[in-house]
Amino acid sequence: MEQPRRSLILRTMRGLGRGVDLSRRLAVNLIFVLIVVLLVGLLLDRGPKVPKGAALVVAPAGAIVEQLSGDATQRALDRLGGRAVIETRLGDLLAGIRAAREDDRIAALVLDLSRVDRAGMSKLRDLGQAIAEFRASGKRVVATADFYSQTAFYLAAQADEIHLSPQGLVLLPGFGIYRPYYKAGLDLYEIDAHVFRVGEFKSAVEPYLRNDVSPEARESYLDVLGGLWGSYLEAVAAGRKTTPERLAATIDRVDELLATAGGDGARLSLESGLVDHLSNRDEVRARLIELVGEDEKEKSFRRIGLADYLAANGLDQRRKVKGEAVAVVVAAGTIRDGSHPSGTIGGDSTAALVRRARENEKIKAIVLRVDSPGGSAFASEVVRRELALARAGGKPVVVSMGSVAASGGYWISTASDRIFADPTTITGSIGIFGVLPTFEKPLAKYLGVRVDGVGTTWLAGALRPDRALEPRLGAMIQSMIEHGYEDFLARVGEARHMERDAVDRIARGRIWTGAEAARLGLVDELGGFDAAVAAAGRLAELGEQPALQWIEQERGWRDRLAERLFRAAGRFAPEAAALPHRPLSAAGRLRAALAELETLAQLDDPRGLVAHCFCEIDG
């Protein structure tokens, strides 16, 4: 009786095993067939076509950046796993809008602004100018959103008509710089944050020394924020046919006005003249069908998205150009030691891009597009040195500053023939700092842990965070900080033809707007990327509209395949929604609070010398 039962169990287990094996092979085969179908589809795909009389839909998502973070393969995998950092490249937005202005097939521009997160003022000004030029061609611009953040509304204000959801709101909180201050918390747990710096305006380390903003930092911040806010109000007021003063008064009384409107934010936005129409999504769609006609197949207005429009017109800025050209190297993000993917300035990886441009005989000049608050002083010097070599070899270098080119971002800019900045660029912050925390006291007090041992010199174990700081080591670090500051002053003085003390008076860690930096001699001219390109073309004797060769990290076949796959897939499945950094978003506030600590953890200068500006603007 026992034997037949065992045989039955064995037969059952074998059957289950064969079933599992068959299921596994079927799954693998299905995946293989799916991959083959996708690849064949890509080979046969001739790309998108531009419908005649269509609206170009520009729907920036996440942050508007100079350069996308990471490589294409990693971005694709992150998107599949729902971990993607949502970003939109500024160059793609500008290229699409400018091309559509001259394209007879494009009848209108639609700005879908519900998912845009944040952008620096210089980027908003560039986009605002491109939208204004599109409108000047006689084509209509329509803006729509469920909710207008401050970033979104700057762009919307440049449109002919603005639609807002009846449940929506326009919120313009202004600009601010707010940071967490740790001194009381550090004292509570008896953690010693040993700070080394030069310059009373180098406020990056203040949270470890104080519980509030210093008078020096307050003065510097208010000067910069006032300049940026004034520029914002002027542009929005001009777009909405009002005055900056009237707009500022509306914002100042928003609480009273909202109460008068019965708490209805959409009604307040309409009555204040901020928007033209309160429209549900179907009503916006009907308006656009009225404007450009209906796509009967899609049951919507005739349209083409930005990504498809760029692909259809071959507007990929990374394509190779023939003949002599001006190279464009983007230096965006925190400056870190070593090699890093796009979106971070690696001392080695960014220097390698400059070297490629320097060693290419067809490249006659270099435009360095800087959008960075700085980081490692050592990595900054590695990049600066490579730019200096390019100049020494006879290739002009022109710097185009984006929204931020401060501290290490200014350091790398000094090896140039000309520096262009937008009036709203945040720059300067010429200074060095270092932080060495030790927590031997809370270890002993709360855990009863004490660290002891022996070493062959007094330096052995001196850098351990679980031991008290050796005074001689502190003196050594301060000495290196002061030397690094003097080195920074010397770089600036040589580049700007200024005496050491003259540089020191406008340095000491203080930030400036581009407009003030031009007045002080830290930049040569006020102007955007196009002005910098024209200057580089003149210096290289290639004319004011030279061919541009974008020098970026090499893309392997996997990156190119990933880009094509997701571009094709994007036509059939919408991208995951971005989580905007909105003023009333708890998630956005939490992410902002953690961002500074994350940045500090990435500052990996081998000497511990940091040339970084924590000048992230709220709003």
| 308 and 329 housed in the same domain | no
Contacts of 119 (CB under 8 A, 6+ apart): 63, 64, 90, 127, 151, 403
CA 460 – CA 476 distance, rounded (Å):
15
| 525 and 450 housed in the same domain | yes
| 152 and 75 housed in the same domain | yes
Instruction: Say whether 231 is catalytic.
Output: no
Residue 436 burial class via C-beta count within 10 angstroms: exposed 0-12, middle 13-18, buried 19 and up: middle
pLDDT at position 78 over 60: no
Positive or negative torsion for Cα 569, 571, 574, 578: positive
Catalytic residue among 122, 149, 165, 202: 202
Instruction: Examine residue 259 and state whether it is found in any structural domain, yes or no.
Output: no
pLDDT category of residue 614 using cuts at 50, 70 and 90:
confident
Of 312, 340, 375, which residue sits at a domain end?
312
pLDDT at 70: 79
Mean pLDDT value across the chain: 88
pLDDT higher at 577 or 566: 566
pLDDT at 577: 46
pLDDT at position 413 over 90: yes
pLDDT at position 606 over 80: no
pLDDT at 573: 45
**Average pLDDT score over residue span 301-328:** 89
CA 483 – CA 489 distance, rounded (Å):
10
Largest CA distance in the chain: 103
Instruction: Examine residue 543 and state whether it is found in any structural domain, yes or no.
Output: yes
Distances 502 to 406, 408, 418, 427, 539 between C-alpha atoms, Å:
18, 19, 20, 17, 29
Of 408, 407, 412, 427, nearest to 353 (Cα)? 412
User: For residue 193, what is the enclosing H or E element?
Assistant: strand 192-197
Instruction: Examine residue 499 and state whether it is found in any structural domain, yes or no.
Output: yes
Order the strands of the 303-305 sheet from edge to edge. Answer: 277-278, 161-164, 140-145, 106-112, 54-58, 303-305
pLDDT at position 574 over 50: no
Percent of all residues in the chain with a pLDDT value above 70, rounded to a whole number: 82
pLDDT at 615: 80
pLDDT at 146: 96
- 148: helix, coil or strand? strand
CA 279 – CA 282 distance, rounded (Å):
8
Q: What pTM was computed for the model?
A: 0.86
pLDDT at position 283 over 80: yes
What tokens does 57 get? Answer: 């839909």
Q: How many CB atoms sit inside 10 A of residue 168's CB?
A: 20
What tokens does 143 get? Answer: 């803006």
pLDDT category of residue 82 using cuts at 50, 70 and 90:
low
- 54: helix, coil or strand? strand
| 308 and 349 housed in the same domain | no
Instruction: State the helix-helix crossing angle for 471-496 and 377-392, rounded to 10 degrees.
Output: 30
CA 565 to chain CA mean position, Å? 25
- 443: helix, coil or strand? helix
| 405 and 527 housed in the same domain | yes
- 562: helix, coil or strand? helix
Instruction: Say whether 407 is catalytic.
Output: yes
pLDDT at position 542 over 80: yes
pLDDT at position 1 over 80: no
| 371 and 308 housed in the same domain | no
pLDDT at position 616 over 80: no
DSSP strand pairing (140-145 vs 87-89): unpaired
pLDDT category of residue 84 using cuts at 50, 70 and 90:
low
**Average pLDDT score over residue span 85-108:** 95
**Average pLDDT score over residue span 558-569:** 54
| 401 and 303 housed in the same domain | no
| 289 and 333 housed in the same domain | no
CATH number of the domain at 128, please. Answer: 3.90.226.10
What tokens does 575 get? Answer: 């991208």
For the chain, how many structural domains are there in total? 2
User: For residue 305, what is the enclosing H or E element?
Assistant: strand 303-305
Instruction: Examine residue 383 and state whether it is found in any structural domain, yes or no.
Output: yes
CA 18 – CA 8 distance, rounded (Å):
15
| 67 and 160 housed in the same domain | yes
Whose tokens are 């404007």? That residue is 291
pLDDT category of residue 572 using cuts at 50, 70 and 90:
very low
**Average pLDDT score over residue span 501-528:** 97
| 80 and 149 housed in the same domain | yes
Of 35, 572, 36, 52, nearest to 312 (Cα)? 52
Which neighbouring-strand residues pair with 226?
A: none
Q: Give DSSP secondary structure letters for 93-124.
A: HHHHHHHHHT-TTEEEEEEE-SSB----HHHH
Catalytic residue among 407, 413, 416, 429: 407
| 291 and 330 housed in the same domain | no
pLDDT category of residue 576 using cuts at 50, 70 and 90:
very low
- Mean pLDDT is lowest, of 2-11, 54-63, 109-118, 232-241, for 2-11
Of 263, 287, 312, which residue sits at a domain end?
312
Instruction: Examine residue 452 and state whether it is found in any structural domain, yes or no.
Output: yes
Instruction: Examine residue 426 and state whether it is found in any structural domain, yes or no.
Output: yes
- 408: helix, coil or strand? helix
CA 151 – CA 172 distance, rounded (Å):
9
Instruction: Examine residue 319 and state whether it is found in any structural domain, yes or no.
Output: no
pLDDT at 522: 98
* Domain extent at residue 117: 54-170+275-312
Distances 168 to 60, 183, 269, 277 between C-alpha atoms, Å:
19, 40, 9, 11
Instruction: Examine residue 3 and state whether it is found in any structural domain, yes or no.
Output: no
pLDDT at 610: 82
pLDDT category of residue 501 using cuts at 50, 70 and 90:
very high
Beta carbons of 343 and 65 less than 8 angstroms apart:
yes
| 428 and 299 housed in the same domain | no
pLDDT at 103: 97
Which neighbouring-strand residues pair with 326?
A: 365, 548
